[in-house]
Chains A and B, each alone.
Chain A
Amino acid sequence: SAMELPPSHHRANRAAALAAGYVCYRRGSPGRGLRLRTVRRAGRRDIDGVGPKYHLELVLEDIVDEDSTVNCTAEVLYHLGNKNIAPDVQFTIEGELKNTDEADNIFYSQIKSLEKELVAENIPDSHGHVSPEMEPIRLLAWVASGYVMWQNSTENTKFQFAQIKHVKQVKRSDEYLEFDYMILLHEMVSQEIIPWQMTVLWHPQHGVQVTQDSRQPKHASE
């Protein structure tokens, strides 16, 4: 029982946002963040005993360079019966993503050569400002948050990255960079702003990894 959905349908948009987050996690770096630009086509069918499966044709854009886009097809399968299983996502990207080796390597050397561990907060700040040297820190958080969104999405959620509240570099003796982030996610169905802690590992050749993450309680100032 396959069903074509209007691309603007909110169910298609939620599945698309999830797929885009997953793709960003798998393909992103401090030099490249991807996000959903458009849903071109969407279909939905139920898989017996599992849950709804969405077939999506998406256009993804580079966060920094909006004119740089790629087409992407993705399939998202939600596991209705078991909330502890993240949705299955498969995707293919048409064509080449922008090469970010140079920017990645520059960022890597910069951080490696810091004498004191990097510490920062409120990126972007209240006025939407991000200083240029914090842009890779922001993109890295964006990419890593794709993992958190993927792991925690259901048919009734749509996550957006909102802000880095706090980030602290953790010195490592091996070649990896490690950052401890406290981010805010905006969940658009409930409108909640959810603080989330993530430990993020990155190396130019090994991609982004979230090694540990935990949802945080809303803070007491409310």
Chain B
Amino acid sequence: LQLDFWLAPRGPGYPVDVRVPFPSLQPLKAHLEANGVSYSIMIEDVQALVDDERTEMLRGRRRLPLSTNTFDYATYHNLDEIYAFMDLLVAENPNLVSKLEIGRSTENRPIYVLKFSKGGPNRPAVWIDTGIHSREWVTQASGVWFAKKIVLDHENDEGLASILDKMDIFLEIVTNPDGFAFTQTQNRMWRKTRSRHSGSNCIGVDPNRNWDAGFGGPGASKNPCSETYHGPYANSEPEVKAIVDFVKNHGNIKAFVSIHSYSQLLLYPYGYTSTPVPDQKELHQVSQKAVAALSSLYGTKYKYGSIITTIYQASGGTIDWTYNQGIKYSFTFELRDTGRYGFLLPAKQIVPTAQETWLALKVIMLHARDHPY
């Protein structure tokens, strides 16, 4: 019967406490009754108690950590916690990290970018963004991990140290804060921004169809209610405009990586046209190397190629625009998994995902460092 005695039998006259597995309930009750043994139920459902305790423990962890060393990287956090993390990281590493506000979202949330720099004016730079599609939670969580990783490794890791000797790294962790807040409170599956445009009851624009590259062409929807709605015009979304302005004003970004989930893919332009990019061969080789590095850690298998041949035609996409701006090393990741959990990736996979992805990012950054243009 697999009875689990919490107060073991001692002898006649002494009570016994026993946890009874589900399928043994009926047989045990029958046995006790047949033998005239009285019993009462102390806990109807042990699992419910365990679940409640777990919830309480999680709630306890929601009190803000005092340093980025006590921050729990292996769980999903909300917007306030991530913004607090950023401030902690800057306060702990003021010589390496600074926080820039590059704009405001539709609902007036600040949009922040972390800058990692060893100094020097307007160095060539690498850009990484996560969370542009708000439901892709493993990406924001990985962004948080990358931020800490850069701080941990910037001196002792030869590759990263050499990158930072020549280049700055910009990291936008919550690229779509309104969408992210909405996934926390209302709809875990929300993808788009939260803007309202006249003439429709439906909310939101797909921020990865709103860029000025093949804007409005096949591979995006003109229906405001659609998940791939491109918006009324290119850069209509402040979240997108903020990055566009930043990139143009900076003028020296050499590698641009936009991170999504899921599907386990590494992609380069174009999505809006089947014309291959001039640098196709080189981007394909870099992708191959990056994917090999990623796989080396846990064996996670990635496919790679241009957006249009690997997934589908998609217009108005981020890296099509950045490539056309002259940022040769423009890549998009689709992180874990391939559909077993999809957007609802278990929290215990956050750190392994971030770790393996970081190896691929380093390949891209090192290549950019070694091939200045």
Contact = CB atoms under 8 A, between A and B. Distances in A.
Contacts of B187: 219, 221-222
B23 A190 contact: no
- Chain B interface main SS type: loop
Given A113-B26, A221-B186, A222-B203, A127 B346 contact: yes
A83 interface: no
A190 B268 CA distance: 20
A92 to B, nearest CB: 23
B54 to A, nearest CB: 9
B370 interface: no
A109 B183 CA distance: 37
Contacts of B310: 8, 10
Interface stretch (A72-80, A95-103, A128-136, A171-179): A128-136
B343 A127 contact: no
Contact of B339 (A35, A125, A128, A222): A35
Interface in B169-184: 183
Contacts of B75: 127
Given A35-B340, A63-B340, A131 B51 contact: yes
Contacts of A86: none
B51 A162 contact: no
A163 B263 CA distance: 17
Contacts of B105: none
Given A189-B312, A221-B186, A128 B345 contact: yes
B191 interface: yes
Contacts of A191: 191, 206, 227-228
Contact of A126 (B23, B51, B188, B309): B188
Contacts of A189: 312
A124 interface: yes
A15 B221 CA distance: 24
Interface string A109-129: 110010000000000111111
B342 A162 contact: yes
Contacts of A161: 339, 342
Contacts of A126: 76, 137, 183, 188, 344
A203 interface: no
A194 to B, nearest CB: 10
A177 to B, nearest CB: 15
Contact of A10 (B206, B311, B345): B311
- Chain A interface main SS type: loop
Interface in B210-269: 221, 225-228, 263
Nearest to A125: B344
Which among A124, A126, A188, A190 has the greatest number of chain B C-beta atoms within 10 A? A126
Contacts of A36: 339
A20 to B, nearest CB: 10
A197 interface: no
A113 B202 contact: no
Nearest to A184: B189
Contacts of B203: 222
Interface in A55-78: 63
Given A35-B339, A106-B23, A222-B202, A129 B347 contact: yes
A162 B303 CA distance: 22
Contacts of A9: 309
A133 B46 CA distance: 13
Which among B137, B202, B225, B227 has the greatest number of chain A C-beta atoms within 10 A? B227
B105 to A, nearest CB: 18
B305 interface: yes
Nearest to A128: B346
Contacts of B263: 188
Contact of B22 (A110, A125, A188): A110
A8 B312 contact: no
A41 to B, nearest CB: 16
B191 A113 contact: no
A161 B303 CA distance: 21
B14 interface: no
Given A35-B339, A191-B228, A124 B51 contact: no
A4 interface: no
A172 to B, nearest CB: 19
A127 B339 contact: no
Interface in B295-350: 303, 305, 309-312, 339-347, 349
A160 interface: yes
Which among B188, B206, B303 has the greatest number of chain A C-beta atoms within 10 A? B188
Given A113-B26, A189-B312, A190-B228, A127 B202 contact: no
Interface of B: 22-23, 25-26, 47, 51, 75-76, 137, 183, 186-191, 202-204, 206, 221, 225-228, 263, 303, 305, 309-312, 339-347, 349
25 contacts: A8-B303, A8-B310, A35-B340, A106-B23, A110-B22, A110-B23, A124-B341, A126-B76, A127-B76, A127-B344, A128-B346, A128-B349, A133-B47, A161-B342, A163-B188, A163-B189, A163-B344, A188-B263, A190-B226, A191-B206, A191-B227, A219-B187, A222-B202, A222-B204, A222-B225
Q: Which 3 A-B pairs have the closest CB atoms?
A: A128-B346, A191-B227, A160-B339
Given A127-B344, A162-B343, 7 more contacts: A8-B310, A35-B339, A126-B188, A127-B76, A160-B342, A193-B189, A221-B186
